[in-house]
Chain A
């Protein structure tokens, strides 16, 4: 019998604790598939954040470190500087990366640390129960913005790809989504590009995933997908922002 579908070797058999309709599971699988395809599993170290994916180390079948809230890029810097031969990626949510960890991500990107960042943007704090994030949409109701995000009071959501793309050093920056099969295929391509660049020791790579949080958005999964399309896609365009051009590899 021919096997046509199986669990990637990089994924463990532990069932995840993620809510129904959450995209963490899809994104975990994409990472595992890409690492398998590139043959990197035996030298990969993932870094789990604080947030819903704090237990990510249970779901992958390779080495992991669990980082303090927001500090994953600093931890990744330490691993990569100690062992440049290892393949290192951080897996961070929007509260972790865009709020408490803003300093660490900006400076690691600006140093051009040669690891990969997988950034999950679902416009809300998940694990703590649905509070406003730096990425929460204008008018979006959360437990700490019960009348909707008031941009006059707390400002507009932060677009991380655009912010990092304004820096000269970081060379691969792309925003993707996984709310339909076409987007999943595109996301997988971007993720593979990011890890391949790291494998070739080319540059810092950053992939932002637009994600749904049906539980804390208070929507059934399908409705959540529609909410993402209608509200997040116009503000957070899915596109590549930066890609190293081959001849620029060695340019200042």
Chain B
């Protein structure tokens, strides 16, 4: 199949369908409602299920039930809706159920606005819901990458029995780009012999997150922690830009912001300022080893975000005190321009106020 021009939201939906994400439950919210609208048309054609649920609070619990029954299930929403799902996501992580949650981030806090933002980094990466858990978090920076990530997200959710978050922003969801749906092959998955599918021929299965005995609860926490360590070992993904040559500045940016940074890096090059970019594709696990290595070749590191500074904390953790770490961000739905990024870099080079 050749390339087709598609809106991000619809491309994500189509990719999920092709990856076997045939059960979708959701609640409308801008700027991602096209996902549900697309699936309402598409699911009946492929024998799947689209169901609009009464609230995001309910949606995430429908996911819990369906995942617990062994289905490949997913939802999408945007920031305020994702907040409503946090309780349930904690239960899903605790009960070790696979599901995929797409967050087309809008600006907040509160009702905020409907324009792109990266203000949900903490929520996605640092937990969001209660208790000691992590989600695997992918952050595509183009419609094509979002399309490529959906099958991977479903595979990893099943493989780790863990929720996977695909975090885009209003820009990724709303813009149109040419995409190609490439078939991806993954190694066979273990059977879902833990699912509640009826106890014929076996002992009853229970999907549960209640452990009143502290010894048992601690065991669960350590088991989950070991799983997150496995993710850190095996699942880190990132892209490097301009790192083959010498550079004075290392930028770290993800999603839409990373694309802005690439343009800024070209402009900086024209000014004789060599700059490199590390773009995390996984936000958890964070590519901290590579950030550290690349930082050692730079005078300083800058985290560029559509927030007031969230990922910068992970950049600082990775770099430690070995190099200065600076931050530049726009927020509230404002997308930084390449010129602003250039100016921010120059400011720290001492070339400009």
Contact = CB atoms under 8 A, between A and B. Distances in A.
Given A82-B23, A107-B54, A76 B65 contact: yes
A82 B70 contact: yes
Contacts of B64: 65, 67-68, 71, 74-75, 78
Contacts of A229: none
A189 interface: no
Nearest to B195: A63
Contact of B23 (A61, A62, A74, A81): A81
Interface string A138-163: 00000000000000000000000000
A76 B58 CA distance: 11
Contacts of B73: 78, 82
A157 to B, nearest CB: 24
Interface stretch (A38-46, A176-184, A214-222): A38-46
A227 interface: no
B71 interface: yes
Interface of A is mostly: helix
B215 interface: no
A54 B58 contact: no
A64 interface: yes
A65 B200 contact: no
A86 interface: yes
A66 B208 CA distance: 5
Task: For chain A, give the interface size range.
Answer: 20 to 34
A82 B207 contact: no
A221 B91 CA distance: 36
A77 interface: yes
Contacts of A106: 54
Contacts of A75: 61-62, 64-65, 68
A64 B54 CA distance: 24
B198 interface: yes
A80 B198 CA distance: 12
B322 interface: no
Nearest to A80: B65
A201 interface: no
Contact of B210 (A66, A74, A82): A66
A78 B69 contact: yes
A3 B87 CA distance: 48
A231 B245 CA distance: 83
A60 interface: yes
B189 interface: no
Contacts of A83: 69-71, 197
Nearest to A77: B62
A86 B57 contact: no
A220 B192 CA distance: 47
Contacts of A107: 53-54, 58
A21 to B, nearest CB: 23
B204 A77 contact: no
Contacts of A193: none
9 contacts: A43-B198, A57-B208, A62-B204, A78-B63, A78-B69, A79-B68, A82-B23, A104-B57, A104-B58
4 smallest CB-CB distances across A and B, nearest first, come from A78-B65, A78-B66, A74-B61, A75-B65
Given A43-B198, A44-B198, A83-B70, 8 more contacts: A64-B208, A65-B196, A67-B64, A75-B61, A79-B69, A81-B66, A104-B61, A107-B53
